[in-house]
Amino acid sequence: MATTLLLSLLLLLLSPLTFSVPTPTPTPTPTPLVRSTCNATTYYDLCVASLSSDPAAAAARDPTALSSILVSRAAADAANASAAAASLAGAAAAAEPSAAALRACAAKYAAARDALGRALAALAAAEYDYAFVHVGAAAEYPRACRALFRRQAPRLAFPAEIARREDALERLCTDALDIITLLGD
Amino acid sequence: MANFIEPLVVGRVIGEVVDLFVPKNTMSVYYGPKHVTNGCDVKPSMSVDPPNIQIAGLRPDLYTLVMTDPDAPSPSDPRMREVVHWIVVDIPGGADLKEGLEVLPYMCPRPLLGIHRYVFILFEQKLPFPVVAPMQSRANFNTRLFAAQYDLGPPVSSVFFNSQREPAYRKH
């Protein structure tokens, strides 16, 4: 009986721990508009995931609204990449070649952010051709950052953190371009 | 000289992008194994990365290269003429373009409608290039005005290729 009482007490003590594990937030189901629009993109899964994570996508009524959401997301990613590059530059010794390259990368990603900002304005004005050019321009800046490292002699190692952000931003811009291509058709 | 200029006249590069000029230098442009000659076709998938460009001439001469699309968004309605794709300055004569200073990163061709011309124009600089203010937009660029603004004089060489949208194949 003492054992049973002890076990009961133990169970009582452990139960808050057992039932306090947070349940993961379910991913919203993509709307039919999100699915059909993302079906025209190169990276379908990325498109769906990026849009589904934004509450505004659920209320979007046309692909233009979805393109704006993706471009906004890309602009935020570009801004974060710029900050990350600047932070890495600050952590490196001032005289190191990588510090100069990282500072230049921070400027490239900032330029990408600005270009995406202009793309948003063009989308708002229904100037889809201009939006296309601005997003296309933004998509090239990450590559220019990588080229800076490649051209150094001896060649500098490209930071994995920036490489990850480069890949993500390029894919997002590609999907944004795919959607903008649909607009005005 | 006529053999060099005529394709540029027929292709309306002379007239719509630059004025008539006397070629004084040569440049060779390659996208991978593809040698770009006036009016040749280059698929967008082949031009994703910047081309290899070798410029004739001698150091310490310096050159500026501009790549531009005068047919954006479409040849029948080029209201965005020109969209500038690439600007590299301070390229030493006789050198590879990589030795120059890239003031505007290469933006690969993405023609949406129709067949676009993509034009490379080479200028000889009188002085090392001054600091270029960041461009707000690549659209509605004007090669003539750019050359005048930076005192580049007439072009010394030019070559263009045609490109059109490739069909997209989706996995789903």
Give residue A184's pLDDT: 67
**Domain membership flag for residue B171:** no
Contact status of B112 with chain A (Cβ, < 8 Å): yes
**Domain membership flag for residue B169:** no
Q: In 3D, which of B163, B144, B160, B162 has the Cα closest to residue B8?
A: B160
Angstroms from B107 CA to nearest CA on chain A: 6
Nearby residues of A131 by Cβ (< 8 Å), 6 or more positions away:
A67, A71, A119, A120, A122, A123, A180, A183
**Domain membership flag for residue B70:** yes
Count of the separate structural domains present in chain B: 1
Q: Is residue A150 classed exposed, middle or buried when 0-12, 13-18 and 19+ CB atoms within 10 A define those classes?
A: exposed
Q: Is residue A99 classed exposed, middle or buried when 0-12, 13-18 and 19+ CB atoms within 10 A define those classes?
A: middle
What is the sign of the dihedral through the CA atoms of A58, A63, A64 and A68? positive
**Domain membership flag for residue B78:** yes
Q: In 3D, which of B97, B59, B86, B75 has the Cα closest to residue B12?
A: B75
Nearby residues of A59 by Cβ (< 8 Å), 6 or more positions away:
none
pLDDT, one tens digit for every residue, chain A (185 residues)? 555 555 555 555 555 444 455 555 666 788 999 999 999 999 999 999 999 999 999 999 999 999 999 999 999 999 999 999 999 999 887 678 888 899 999 999 999 999 999 999 999 999 999 999 999 999 999 988 998 888 776 778 899 999 999 999 999 999 999 999 999 65
Cα–Cα distance for residue pair A48/A44, rounded to 1 Å:
6
User: Domain limits of chain A?
Assistant: 32-184
Classify domain A32-184 at the CATH topology level.
Butyryl-CoA Dehydrogenase, subunit A; domain 3 (1.20.140)
Q: For A110-119, what is each residue's pLDDT tens digit?
A: 999 999 999 9
**Domain membership flag for residue B132:** yes
Cα–Cα distance for residue pair B134/B120, rounded to 1 Å:
21
User: Which residues 59-98 in chain B show a CB within 8 A of chain A?
Assistant: 72-73, 79-80, 83, 98
CA distances A121 to A64, A71, A136, A179, B60, Å, are: 12, 10, 15, 16, 44
DSSP state of B74: B
Angstroms from B157 CA to nearest CA on chain A: 26
Cα–Cα distance for residue pair A17/B166, rounded to 1 Å:
58
Residues of chain B in contact with residue A129, where contact means CB-CB under 8 angstroms, are 72-73, 79-80, 112, 139
Q: What is the CATH number of the domain that holds B88?
A: 3.90.280.10
Q: Is residue A2 classed exposed, middle or buried when 0-12, 13-18 and 19+ CB atoms within 10 A define those classes?
A: exposed
Geometric angle at alpha carbon A181, from A179 and A184, rounded to 5°: 105
Strands (E), chain B: 27-31, 34-35, 40-41, 52-55, 62-69, 83-92, 101-104, 115-124, 157-164
Cα–Cα distance for residue pair B35/B37, rounded to 1 Å:
6
Residues of chain B in contact with residue A151, where contact means CB-CB under 8 angstroms, are 98
Domain range enclosing B50: 2-164
Give residue A147's pLDDT: 87
Angstroms from B84 CA to nearest CA on chain A: 10
Residues of chain A in contact with residue B171, where contact means CB-CB under 8 angstroms, are 44
**Domain membership flag for residue B105:** yes
Determine contact, residues A130/A177, Cβ cutoff 8 Å: no
Q: A140, B108: Cβ pair inside 8 Å?
A: yes
Q: Which residues of chain B have pLDDT under 70?
A: 1-2, 168-172
**Domain membership flag for residue B74:** yes
Residues of chain B in contact with residue A45, where contact means CB-CB under 8 angstroms, are none
